[in-house]
Structure 1
Amino acid sequence: MAAVSKTRNMIEGFVRDGSFKWLLKNRNPFHEEFEEMKASPSAGKNWIHELSPVANIVVRRCSKILKVPTGQLQENFNAEAIDAIKDPSCYARNFLEYSCYKALSAYTQVSGYMDDRKFRRLTFDMMLAWEVPDAASQPTNTMDELVFPVTELGNHLVKLFYWEEPIKSSIFCLVSTYVIYRGWFSYVVGLVLAFIALFIVITRWFSRGREVDEFRVIAPPPMNTMEQLLAVQNAISQAEELIQDGNILLLKLRGLLLSIYPQASDRFAIALVIMAVFVAVVPMKYLILAVLLEEWTKYSPMRRSSTERLNRRLREWWFSIPAAPVVLEKVNDDKKKK
């Protein structure tokens, strides 16, 4: 009985908390504040490069509580702290602790602060920020630097995909369509591989006798017990969220395939039939061209509004499908008290 109750509670939690996360971009709890900081005219001034992104968010909240700009808060810290505290090796952690202490001192002056959800959220996020206060202490920095060329290429492709520069996007769309239509895609891949090989040969030729540049990695400071517990808790929370999203997907697909929800299953079946007819009748080359043109032009200025409207309707349809039929039952405890 306990196992059944636990399973029921798990499914209920999936339906209540996780069903509306599917088909949305993966966003961490700080995503909205990151977007708000980027859109702010004073984003460059308020961003402290010594701090990690999470620490920047927490310091920004502290500055709002204290009603002073982030830059002014940093100036106050630099004026009050001694040189040993402002040492680069511990500057980020000390400044973060200074900001948190000031904000907590101001917050606790308000009556009923313990019942405030924002206060509890702030203290939890403070502990997360203390885990990685320094920008250089993040283990992802090394990876970010290594994959910087790939990241830049991806950013350019995203700009082309969302038509931030319409002329370049139009040229790229026309060229890629013509290459696939003419059957030159294999030649393009071969030219790219040959170019990479030529680049390696030229680099090797001109780097003879030269020492290889050292790659410096700043070792993160050792974590105490609380920081280790927070790191484990954060990892478990992320894994739990992924498992919940996967279970929501499987439960909804099960409902569609078993026709538990007839109206949604009918639409799903009609869409599959239309796709099957297209795949069977249209030649593969033209099918690929159609998919390419659809994907590369759906965010063009002429189609952006219709694409957003279609995506909104698809999300509404997906959200309308229950993950699983849930019936809440009260468990009667008939145990006699001794």
Structure 2
Amino acid sequence: MAAVSKTRNMIEGFVRDGSFKWLLKNRNPFHEEFEEMKMSPSGDKNWIYELSPVANIVVRRCSKILNIPTRLLQENFNEEAPDVTKDPSRYARNFLEYSCFRALSLSTQISGYMEDKKFRRLTFDMMLAWEVPDAASQPSMDIDEDATVGIEAFSRIVPAVPIIADVIISDYIFEFLTASTGGRLQFSTFEKYLSGLERAVRKLKSQSESSLLSSQRSGRGERVLEVDGTVTTQPVLQHVGISTWPGRLTLTDHAMYFEALRVVSYDKPTVYELADDLKQFVKPELTGPWGTRLFDKAFLYKSVSLSDAIVMELPELKGHARRDYWLAIIREILYAHRFIRKFQITGVERDEILLKTIFGILRVQALKDISSAIPLSFEAGLMFNVCDQLPGGDRILETIATRSTTRELDRNSNTMSTSGMYSISASTMASSLGFVFGTSSNVPNKSGIIVGDVSVGELTPLEKAVKESRSNYKMVTNAQAAVDGVKVEGIDTNLAVMKELIFPVTELGNRLVKLFYWEEPVKSLAFCLVFTYVIYMGWFSYVLALLLAFLALFMMVTRCCSRGRPVDEFKVTAPPPMNTMEQLLAVQNAISQAEELIQDGNVVLLKLRGLLLSIFPQASDRFAVALGMSAVFVAFVPIRFVVLLVFLEEFTKYSPMRRSSTERWNRRLREWWFSIPAAPIVLEKLKEDKKKK
């Protein structure tokens, strides 16, 4: 009775002192439900004093859906939840998540829930409550029709309904939806997204239930995900060799089909497998008339089952978004089956993976219909495409596979996970969307449900892997932005920048050359004696280690001294501007110099070939004798002395005492080298194949 009286006094106090003025500003569902709670005899009993008013109203809605009193829902949470989630500082938010997950789990089992406006509003209000869960928290905005939510609330609540979002791509969906609203999601935008998603589900059901490709799809229970080429103004053109056919392109969750268009009907469909291991790959491709490569509006498919690659062209007036969309969804199916094969995922878990893949494609279809301040990146909205691009994406896939294996073991051992502590899975909610998926979904799961990827009060291993990967991705993005910012135009300008960057190395090289040619005999003698002693004592590895340690110490000292100071810009003196003709001449000169270097390299290789194969016996005999003597010397002399003798030979040959003899020996060596002819070479032209491919 004391608790009831305390709660009643608290509610009356809220009304009396105006604490609910923010709630009464406009007539909205929160206001109406609050009035209903105040008038209800059980309102005092169902008011949870740890929660904020908004959270209380949302929990009350959840209890109505679950058909249990709010107090009983709280008791269930206290019994089921681990102790760590019942910490007072996190109790309100964790209990709210528990109530939301259970209510959403039951709501999504009702057919047609996606088009239910109450469901849409409830999901959004759950996010509003998540941001102000406890009684001590104060709302940062008025809870009215213009209320918005942030990315953290979206990423915690929305992935509880797998078709709306998942853990891997929820951040991107939020960023796309809020690009024009300052990073805060409005209910109108969220409702528009759910409406597009509901249309995409209807389209999926109508396409899959039609007679299209029924004979080919019946064995595997495939779902038709996308069809294109049915409108004459937007044809799909298939290129095989020099042949081009318009037709209809169909994508299922297992394969791609093309039906060539005849006069009044379509040919029998050609199947391009995505599920089997045929070493397939799909990539963008250029097309054009008579084999020219002009238009970037096609993709190429190649597998070991095809003798020639096929090219699918999707023409459009501007850009290549149509091709990019098809390329992304085809790769998503291909990557999903590669993942299934790699980790040997079977049964219900296999259906779960394919369902997540299908849901991702449906989400992209829904986002296509929404205008945004940023262009839609199809790959960023698809789970396996994202994992293929993100740093550490392989660890995300390994986490998914580990969770799949764990859940499969739990079912085999009849282990039931606490349903209320996890979001629901894709397989659990599949039937509520109006279709039965795969081959194993028809069999009742007697071992318990599959849990989802979000857990009450803590990050799942998948969420942790995604968070770490996205953090690394931001670092890579920032680094790439810095790289793009320092790129300059023009060959002469880039050469000037490179010259300045390698100036320290060039300067060091010039000093070593001076030492090598004994231009300053005292310094050269000192350098020779020091390195002779280092090599003789076997200290070269220590010198190298000392050099690396010095570089590390220099970096640390520089970091400490420059902390908080802006980075000094690297200044380069720009060369005089060059016009287009001068730049072309510079390129031509560079190409000519590169060609001469390649020619000289080929001559050296051909001469060595002649020596090794004894094409020129006299030169080969001398070369063989020299190699034999070197082999004997290396075999019987310790390697330390070999290195020492080589160093002394090379470093002292331009000393004042040996300069004249060195020049004489170099002249004889050049004369011997020039006297060796290159091995013969014949260029054969391939016979032209008259059949163009």
TM-score normalised over the length of structure 2: 0.26
- Cα offsets for 1:117-137 (capped at 9, x unmatched): xxxxxxxxxxxxxxxxxxx95
Distance 2:568 2:677 in 1: 57
In the TM superposition, residue 221 of structure 1 has moved relative to its aligned partner by: 4.0
In the TM superposition, residue 316 of structure 1 has moved relative to its aligned partner by: 0.3
Alignment partner for residue 504 of structure 2, among 142, 149, 167?
149
Is the contact made by 2:536 and 2:644 (CA closer than 8 Å) also made in structure 1?
A: yes
In the TM superposition, residue 206 of structure 1 has moved relative to its aligned partner by: 1.9
Query: Aligned residue for 1:298?
Result: 653
Alpha-carbon spacing, 1:290–1:219, altered in 2? closer, same or farther (3 Å):
closer
Query: Aligned residue for 2:532?
Result: 177
Distance 1:240 1:207 in 2: 46
In the TM superposition, residue 235 of structure 1 has moved relative to its aligned partner by: 2.9
Which piece of structure 1 moves more, 293-302 or 247-256?
247-256
1:201 aligned partner, one-letter code: M
1:207 aligned partner, one-letter code: S
Does residue 286 of the first structure (1) align with residue 630 of the second (2)?
Answer: no
Distance 1:220 1:167 in 2: 42
Is the contact made by 2:496 and 2:575 (CA closer than 8 Å) also made in structure 1?
A: no
Distance 1:246 1:236 in 2: 15
In the TM superposition, residue 243 of structure 1 has moved relative to its aligned partner by: 2.2
Distance 1:228 1:150 in 2: 27
- Cα offsets for 1:279-336 (capped at 9, x unmatched): 111111111111011111111000011011100100000011122469xxxxxxxxxx
1:178 aligned partner, one-letter code: Y
Query: Aligned residue for 2:570?
Result: 215
Query: Aligned residue for 1:188?
Result: 543
Distance 2:598 2:497 in 1: 28
Q: What SS is found at the alignment partner of 1:213?
A: coil
Query: Aligned residue for 1:240?
Result: 595
Distance 1:185 1:266 in 2: 36
- Give the alignment's Cα RMSD to 1 decimal: 2.4
Query: Aligned residue for 1:264?
Result: 619
Alpha-carbon spacing, 1:228–1:196, altered in 2? closer, same or farther (3 Å):
closer
Distance 2:498 2:598 in 1: 26
Distance 1:296 1:274 in 2: 22
Alpha-carbon spacing, 1:222–1:312, altered in 2? closer, same or farther (3 Å):
closer
Query: Which protein has the larger Cα radius of gyration, Structure 1 or Structure 2?
Result: 2
- Cα offsets for 1:194-231 (capped at 9, x unmatched): 1111111222222223222223454874642x335423
Is the contact made by 2:652 and 2:658 (CA closer than 8 Å) also made in structure 1?
A: yes
Alignment partner for residue 308 of structure 1, among 659, 663, 666?
663
- Cα offsets for 1:18-51 (capped at 9, x unmatched): xxxxxxxxxxxxxxxxxxxxxxxxxxxxxxxxxx
The 5 Å alignment of 1:23-62 reads none
Distance 2:502 2:608 in 1: 36
Is the contact made by 2:615 and 2:679 (CA closer than 8 Å) also made in structure 1?
A: no
- Cα offsets for 1:162-212 (capped at 9, x unmatched): 111111111111111111111111111111111111111222222223222
Query: Aligned residue for 1:251?
Result: 606
1:190 aligned partner, one-letter code: A
Distance 1:194 1:239 in 2: 38
Distance 1:263 1:315 in 2: 16
Alpha-carbon spacing, 1:223–1:256, altered in 2? closer, same or farther (3 Å):
same
Aligned residues: 191
What are structure 1's unaligned runs of at least 5 residues?
Answer: 1-135, 327-338
Q: Which structure has more RCO (C-alpha within 8 Å, separation ≥ 6)?
A: 1
Which piece of structure 1 moves more, 303-312 or 254-263?
254-263
1:157 aligned partner, one-letter code: L
Distance 1:177 1:219 in 2: 44
1:290 aligned partner, one-letter code: L
Alpha-carbon spacing, 1:146–1:262, altered in 2? closer, same or farther (3 Å):
same
Distance 1:243 1:299 in 2: 30
Q: What SS is found at the alignment partner of 1:197?
A: helix
1:161 aligned partner, one-letter code: F
Alpha-carbon spacing, 1:251–1:137, altered in 2? closer, same or farther (3 Å):
closer
Alignment partner for residue 321 of structure 1, among 653, 671, 676?
676
Does residue 162 of the first structure (1) align with residue 162 of the second (2)?
Answer: no
Query: Aligned residue for 1:12?
Result: none
Q: Hey, which of these two has a bigger chunk of strand by percent?
A: 2
Name the % identity: 74
Distance 2:571 2:524 in 1: 38
Distance 1:241 1:234 in 2: 11
Distance 2:541 2:571 in 1: 39
Alpha-carbon spacing, 1:216–1:153, altered in 2? closer, same or farther (3 Å):
closer
Distance 1:219 1:158 in 2: 28
Q: Hey, which of these two has a bigger chunk of helix by percent?
A: 1
Q: What SS is found at the alignment partner of 1:139?
A: helix
1:210 aligned partner, one-letter code: R
